[in-house]
């Protein structure tokens, strides 16, 4: 029998299971959409975010198990406990290299320093998968692994096992290195964009961000929240006393990051994803218009004007002015590398210039 008060136990178990049950089905549908929808499956950045989502979903499944452990005040079997916590820990540690890979993709695409094909990213994902398997296997050995401390409703390394101190230090340095490298990549990306002033275009008529910059904003927010969660885990105990309520709060914060952050960002920044799920008013697009890219209102107005009858056609002077504006708008749309074929697995994007 643990020392966790019954009220804490029921609240913790209810929150662990409830959050996972509420968010997991929708998250799985989002990942499926990224892998199968014609708009997203060709874009490397969304494939990387889908891999990140897989790790998040594994952690959500683990939280359901933690909720059951807490509710029954027992872990049932030591092998079940080790397997569940090992998979959760491996998934959490694998999110940071995945976030680093996403930052590298944003840096390469937006700065145009080099061109990388989809095979490079597939190999990186295979490496991250091997890293995940390594932590899973190590956690199942009798020399390392995590334990679920029922007194705190928290999973952590069991320092009585001989390999855990070394594995914990390795995890600490690798995760912090990934965070630092990701931060430097985003800092470099933003600095180069500011110098070039070629990706973002602000106009009085309409404020629009290129699709790749919108993905950059999502990636930066994901990095920021995951970094705060990790730093709180590593350095929070230096400033606060980790009692039972704080331990449960840390677990809930991690679960909220896994379950709510990414799906919410995906819906906010991707109009086509909202259309797939039937959320919000979405304008029907023509067959030759990309569902990801925002179209200038002036271009839409010209398209409508061209379909009107003779009685509604503009006078020649107005039509001439409209054609000039249309030519100006269309001149802003350029491929990533003029004269070079598009890399497999990488979607071209719109660059809006001053």
Question: Domain map of the chain by residue range?
Answer: 6-200+209-277
pLDDT over threshold 80, residue 329: no
Instruction: Please name the fold of domain 6-200+209-277.
Output: Rhopdopsin 7-helix transmembrane proteins (1.20.1070)
CA distances from 272 to 35, 41, 74, 335 (A): 14, 13, 45, 21
CA dist 132 and 90 (Å) reads 5
Could you tell me which of 258, 267, 259, 158 has the C-alpha nearest to residue 218? Answer: 267
The DSSP bridge pattern shows strands 154-157 and 146-149 to be antiparallel
166 token code pair: 């070394």
Calculate what percentage of the chain has a pLDDT beyond 90.
Answer: 47
Could you tell me which of 97, 89, 92 has the C-alpha nearest to residue 157? Answer: 89
Is the dihedral angle over the CA atoms 107, 354, 287, 215 positive or is it negative? positive
CA dist 130 and 61 (Å) reads 20
User: Within 10 Å of residue 220's Cβ, how many Cβ atoms?
Assistant: 18
pLDDT over threshold 70, residue 222: yes
pLDDT over threshold 50, residue 211: yes
CA dist 194 and 140 (Å) reads 48
What does pLDDT average to over the chain? 79
pLDDT tens across 173-200, in order? 999 999 999 999 999 998 888 887 654 4
pTM of the predicted protein model = 0.75
User: Within 10 Å of residue 274's Cβ, how many Cβ atoms?
Assistant: 16
Question: Are 138 and 217 contacting, i.e. CB atoms less than 8 angstroms apart?
Answer: no
């Amino acid at each position: 029998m643990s020392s966790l008060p019954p009220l804490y136990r029921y609240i913790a178990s209810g929150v662990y299971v409830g959050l996972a049950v509420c968010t997991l089905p929708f998250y799985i549908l989002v990942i499926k959409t990224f892998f199968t929808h014609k708009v997203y499956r060709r874009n490397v950045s969304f494939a990387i975010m889908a891999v990140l989502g897989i790790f998040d979903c594994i952690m959500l499944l683990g939280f359901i198990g933690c909720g059951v452990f807490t509710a029954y005040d027992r872990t049932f079997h030591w092998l079940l406990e080790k397997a569940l916590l090992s998979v959760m820990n491996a998934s959490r540690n694998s999110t940071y290299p995945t976030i680093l890979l996403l930052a590298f993709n944003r840096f390469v695409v937006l700065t145009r320093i080099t061109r990388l094909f989809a095979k490079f990213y597939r190999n990186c994902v295979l490496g991250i998968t091997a890293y995940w398997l390594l932590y899973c296997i190590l956690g199942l050995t009798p020399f390392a692994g995590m334990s679920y401390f029922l007194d705190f409703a928290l999973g952590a390394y069991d320092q009585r096992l001989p390999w855990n101190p070394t594995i914990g230090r390795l995890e600490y340095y690798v995760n912090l290195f990934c965070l630092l490298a990701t931060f430097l990549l985003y800092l470099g990306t933003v600095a180069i964009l500011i110098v070039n002033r070629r990706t973002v275009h602000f106009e009085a008529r309409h404020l629009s961000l290129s699709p790749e910059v919108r993905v950059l904003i999502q990636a930066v927010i994901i990095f920021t929240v995951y970094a705060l969660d990790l730093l709180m885990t590593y350095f929070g105990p230096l400033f606060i006393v980790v009692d039972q309520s704080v331990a449960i709060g840390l677990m809930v914060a991690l679960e909220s990051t896994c379950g709510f952050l990414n799906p919410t960002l995906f819906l906010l920044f991707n109009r086509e994803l909202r259309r797939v799920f039937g959320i919000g008013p979405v304008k029907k697009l023509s067959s030759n218009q990309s569902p990801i890219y925002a179209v200038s209102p002036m271009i839409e107005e010209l398209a409508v004007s061209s379909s009107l009858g003779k009685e509604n056609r503009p006078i020649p002077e107005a039509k001439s002015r409209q054609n000039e504006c249309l030519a100006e708008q269309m001149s802003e749309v350029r491929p990533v590398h003029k004269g070079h074929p598009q890399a497999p697995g990488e979607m071209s994007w719109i660059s809006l210039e001053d």
